[in-house]
Amino acid sequence: MSTVLLVFLIYLVGMVVVGIVTARLASKSIDDFILGGRKMWTPVIALSEKGTDMSAWLLIGLPGQAFKMGIGAIWAGIGVWLGSLFNWVVIATPLRKLSGKYNALTVPDYFESRFDDKSHMLRITSSILIVFFFTLYVSAQVVGAGKILASTFNIHQVIGMAIGLSIILFYTMAGGFIAESWTDFFQGLIMVVALILMSVVGIIAVGGFSNVFAKVGAIDTKAVLLSAGNSGTALYLGLILGGLAIGFGYAGQPHIVMRYMALQDTKEVKKAAIIAMTWTTFAVAGAIFVGFIAIPFLRGEITDPEYVTLAFAAKILPGWLVGFILAAATAAMMSTVDSQLLVATSSITEDIYRKLINPAASQKHLVLLARIFTVVVAVIAFVLGLSAEQAVYWLVLYAWGGLAASFGPPLILSLLWKRTTKYGVFTGMIVGAVTIVVWYNVPALKGFLYELIPGFFFSLFATWIVSLFTQKTGTQIQEPTGN
């Protein structure tokens, strides 16, 4: 057995063990399965938030973009950093406070309680959007897993997809939120260590940091420019806005904001924020630098930029460390898929079945149902992944944009503006989702600007203007009673 395979198998066995250990803890109630009973250790929640956030995009998509365009990929990294900071500073504390007072386990649950929506309009709409976009999101991650394993072990991509998804399904079904948070914690550590390690070794391989830009520039003069070679002002501005716009997406990601809802109390927000932002700084910088510094080593050798991380590791690292990098790349995918599966499953089980169909369902029955729906969503995502032709980078950005535009503006206004109404929130969700789908599928529009930008601002305007015109007829924010 090769050293690479041995190290990778040790990692996979570790993830399975976590699922077995946490299975009993997650079986007590649906509250434990969805949010871990709001009793988990703060550092685990903090790194789980980041592992969940970054996905295969961090180890596959972002280094691939840096390898393809050069240092110009930094704009996407800045957007990610600012978006994460915004969430921790603006969203985390009020959402944790209100979700706790409403005893809301999910984002749809929060919206319905916040606006006392007895029609269930917000719950149903948000649940449908979550299942739709998360199924696409999971599909992108599964494709990423297939690319990683196929390139490393010379197996078919479909087999790689099946292996990665099977492991995730096991521990997510077994341990729910508790299992996926603890696995995300360890996966987050693996990911950041791997990126820092590859960056340091890469610098040594080119003869020191002072040689990096010279070596890269000798291969591609555009790669050392922040403009990535875009000569026109409009093109350069589009590159900057497209990268920074990724940050607009953070407030609208249910799998991320659920971590704030799962904190023990609001006092833990500051501690978690410091841990999360420190991780983000090192991880994002490392991902960009890995793709950038790989240019003089691999340009012309690989045709798909998204294979760069593993190809670069194989070129500069010994076998056992290549196995570690493989584990990190797989962790990037797993740490997001498990969370997305859980959120999609929660929307079906908690928001639709328990709240609208069978309120008297036992906790044991709900947990069983949640596990069944986890399999169903995973299988659908796998089938979609079989026909996916787009790169992981763009698939992720599409799903990210859809969730961002649908939920970001309504959530922000519901937390910060008391005049927001349920009709405003409903309209914002629909306008945001429709804008993303239409903009993405019209080549002229997509080529002009990343769909998240118009989607976010159209949703924001729709939520605001409809709320203004429905002050008397639309149910406004309901303040919870009690502690």
Task: Tell me the pLDDT tens digit for each residue of 289-305.
Answer: 999 999 999 988 888 88
Which two tokens mark 52?
């969940």
Q: Say yes or no to pLDDT of 228 above 80.
A: no
| Distance, CA of 101 to CA of 91 (rounded, Å) | 16
DSSP 425-468: HHHHHHHHHHHHHHHHH-HHHHHHS-THHHHHHHHHHHHHHHHH
pLDDT band at 414 (very low <50, low <70, confident <90, very high): very high
pLDDT at 54: 79
Pick the residue with more confidence: 335 or 248?
A: 248
The proportion of the chain whose per-residue pLDDT surpasses 70, expressed as a percent, equals: 89
- Name the CA radius of gyration of the chain, rounded: 22
The CATH classification of domain 3-94+136-393, taken from the options 3.40.50.300, 1.10.3720.10, 3.40.50.720, 1.20.1730.10: 1.20.1730.10
Ramachandran assignment for 70, one of left (phi > 0), alpha (psi -120 to 50 degrees), beta (any other): left
Lowest mean pLDDT among 13-22, 205-214, 257-266, 384-393: 384-393
Can you give the residue ranges of every domain in the chain?
3-94+136-393
Task: Tell me the pLDDT tens digit for each residue of 100-143.
Answer: 899 888 899 999 999 999 999 999 999 999 988 888 778 877 77
pLDDT at 483: 42
Q: Say yes or no to pLDDT of 199 above 80.
A: yes
Task: Tell me the pLDDT tens digit for each residue of 49-80.
Answer: 887 887 667 888 889 999 998 998 999 899 99
Q: Say yes or no to pLDDT of 169 above 80.
A: no
* Helix, strand, coil % over all residues of the chain, rounded to 5: 85, 0, 15
pLDDT at 249: 84
CA 419, chain centre distance (Å): 30
Task: Tell me the pLDDT tens digit for each residue of 86-101.
Answer: 999 999 999 999 998 9
Over residues 304-325, mean pLDDT: 85
Over residues 163-171, mean pLDDT: 76
| Mean pLDDT for the chain overall | 84
pLDDT at 30: 65
pLDDT band at 482 (very low <50, low <70, confident <90, very high): very low
Pick the residue with more confidence: 475 or 481?
A: 475
pLDDT band at 447 (very low <50, low <70, confident <90, very high): confident
pLDDT at 386: 78
Which two tokens mark 102?
């409403």
- Residue whose pair of structure tokens reads 């898929």 in the numeric block: 337
pLDDT at 25: 61
pLDDT at 332: 67
pLDDT at 392: 57
Q: Say yes or no to pLDDT of 165 above 90.
A: no
Task: Tell me the pLDDT tens digit for each residue of 319-353.
Answer: 788 888 877 777 666 667 777 787 888 888 888 88
Q: Say yes or no to pLDDT of 415 above 80.
A: yes
| Distance, CA of 43 to CA of 49 (rounded, Å) | 10
